[in-house]
Every structure is written in C-alpha cells, then in structure tokens.
C-alpha cells in the first residue's frame, strides 16, 4: 500500500513539475513583458511630461475653464495625471502581451473583451467630461442668478445643482460602463427621488412660513419699488 501511495505522489509531482515546466517559459515571458513595459512606461511618462510642460498644458487648461481637472490630479498637476495615465496604459498593454505568452486563446478572448469594451470607456469618458462642464456652467449660472436675487442660500443652491448634475453624469457613465447597472439605477433613483421628496416636504411643511414671508416681502418690494424708488438706471 505504501508503494501505491509513493507511486501516486511521484506521479502527481511529475505531472505538476511537467505542467510547471511548461508554464515556466510563459511565466518568464510574462514577467519580462511587465518589466519591459514598466521601463517603457517610465520613459514615455517622462517624455510626455516634458512635452506637456513645453506646450504650457496646465496654463491652457485653466484658460479653457478646465482648471478643476487640477483638483483631481496628483499634486494638483494635470500634467502628472496625463503622464501617469499613459504610463498605466503602457503597463496594461505589457500585461496583455504577457498574458498572451501563456496561452494564445486566453489573449484572443481577452483582446476581444477589451476591444469590445473600449467604446463604452470612450462614451463614459465623454459623458463625464460633458457632465463636468455642464455642472460647472449650471452651478455658476445658479450662483450668479441667486446672488442677484439676493438669496442668502445662493451658494447652497449652486453647489446642490452642481452636484446633482455630477451625480447624474457619474450614474450615466457607470451605466455606460455596464458596472453594477441594477444597483446604480436603483441607487440613483432612490437618491434623486429622495432629494425631490425632501425638498417638497421641506417647502410644503417645514419652510412654509419662510416661503410665505419671502413671497410677501418680494411682492411688497416689487410693488413699492416701482412707485416709490427714485433710482432710475437707464
């Protein structure tokens, strides 16, 4: 019996070592691909940083109204964000090449999945970009309009509008990326529905007196200003 156990162990060890020996070249190739891609990524990131710096990329970004990109960037430098993104992309490509060394079938399947997903990534990026721009524009419009209407909670309104648009854009982007679609839809619905319900209850119940007084004050002001205020602008 011990002989049979010994034989089984020897066979499994042989199978494992044989299989491992078969994988070893692929593993070495994988590690080599990762190392080479890291080196290329570092060099490319350095070149991209130099290029963007010479093109005054960060200054142009603030002129284009995208200075908030600096807030998302490491060390508040969009140049670093771009260069590191490119470096990450190169490393991912190296990873994919490394995977191909194990089994061509795996690579084909992976490549197919990745390529099919790229339009979603592009679409989601565009949605986020447009959402950020629209959020900024609307937030600013609401802020200026509310200040000109003498509303003390102007900034709160502006921030609220901005974040609502951003949340909408993020939900749309996640939906586009097909990430936890059901959860995102449900969470978004609950969030927005909850916000609208809260506002309705606040205005209808909690702030009824404030709104009434505010409207009365505005009505008194608009009727008295037309006839009594001597100031004429134009």
Partner 1 sequence: MDFAATTEGTRQGIERRSEHENLETDSISRQVRETTAAIDSADLVVGILGGVDHDGFTGICDGLRTLAGSPRVAVLQAEAATGQPISGAGTDGGPSLFFMSWPNADTAGAATVSIAAAYHSVFMAAEQLQTRACCVFSSQIEGTKPAWIGQFAQGLLENEADLVLAHYARHKFEGLLNVSIISPLMRSLYGKRIQNPMGPDLGTSQRLFRPVLTAEEKNGGGGVHALATLAPSAVCGNLRVREMYCGPRVYRPTDWTNVSSLLSAVLTPVFLEMERNAACWQRVRGSAPVPVAGERAWVSQDSEKLDVQRMVESFQLGNRELQEIWSLVLPPTTLLELRKLLRLTPEEFHMNDALWARIVYDFALAHRLRSISRDHLIRSMTPLYLGWAASYAREVQDAGPLDVEQRNERLAAAYESAKPYLLSRWRWPDRFSP
CA angle 174, 180, 182 (to 5 degrees): 100
Based on CB atoms, which residue is closest to partner 1, 23 or 133? 133
Sorted by sequence, the CB contacts under 8 Å of residue 132 that are 6+ apart come out as 66, 68, 166, 169
Based on CB atoms, which residue is closest to partner 1, 54 or 150? 150
Compute the least distance from the CB of residue 230 to partner 1, in Å: 5
Compute the least distance from the CB of residue 60 to partner 1, in Å: 12
Compute the least distance from the CB of residue 226 to partner 1, in Å: 4
Based on CB atoms, which residue is closest to partner 1, 68 or 120? 68
Q: Rounded to an integer, what is the distance from CA 217 to the centroid of its chain?
A: 44
Token reading at 123: 């679409």
Based on CB atoms, which residue is closest to partner 1, 156 or 201? 156
Compute the least distance from the CB of residue 195 to partner 1, in Å: 22
Instruction: Report the interface residues with partner 1, using CB under 8 A.
Output: 65, 137, 140-141, 143-145, 147-150, 152, 154-155, 221-222, 225-227, 229-234
């Amino acid at each position: 019996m011990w002989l049979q156990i010994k034989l089984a162990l020897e066979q499994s060890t042989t199978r494992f070592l044989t299989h491992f020996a078969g994988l070893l070249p692929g593993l070495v190739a994988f590690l080599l691909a990762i190392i080479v891609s890291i080196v290329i990524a570092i060099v490319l990131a350095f070149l991209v940083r130099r290029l963007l710096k010479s093109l005054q990329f960060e200054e142009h970004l603030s002129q284009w109204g995208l200075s908030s990109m600096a807030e998302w960037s490491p060390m508040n430098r969009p140049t670093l964000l771009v260069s590191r993104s490119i470096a990450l992309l190169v490393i991912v490509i190296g990873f994919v090449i490394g995977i191909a060394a194990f089994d061509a079938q795996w690579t084909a399947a992976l490549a197919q999945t990745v390529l099919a997903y790229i339009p979603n990534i592009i679409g989601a990026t565009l949605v986020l970009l447009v959402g950020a721009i629209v959020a900024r524009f609307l937030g600013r419009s609401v802020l200026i309009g509310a200040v000109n209407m003498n509303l003390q909670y102007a900034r709160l309104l502006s921030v609220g509008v901005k974040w609502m648009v951003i949340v909408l854009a993020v939900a749309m982007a996640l939906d586009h990326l097909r990430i936890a679609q059901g959860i995102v839809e449900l969470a978004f619905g609950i969030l927005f529905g909850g916000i609208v319900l809260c506002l309705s209850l606040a205005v209808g119940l909690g702030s009824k007196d404030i709104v009434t007084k505010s409207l009365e004050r505005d009505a008194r002001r608009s009727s008295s200003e037309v006839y009594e205020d001597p100031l004429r602008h134009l």
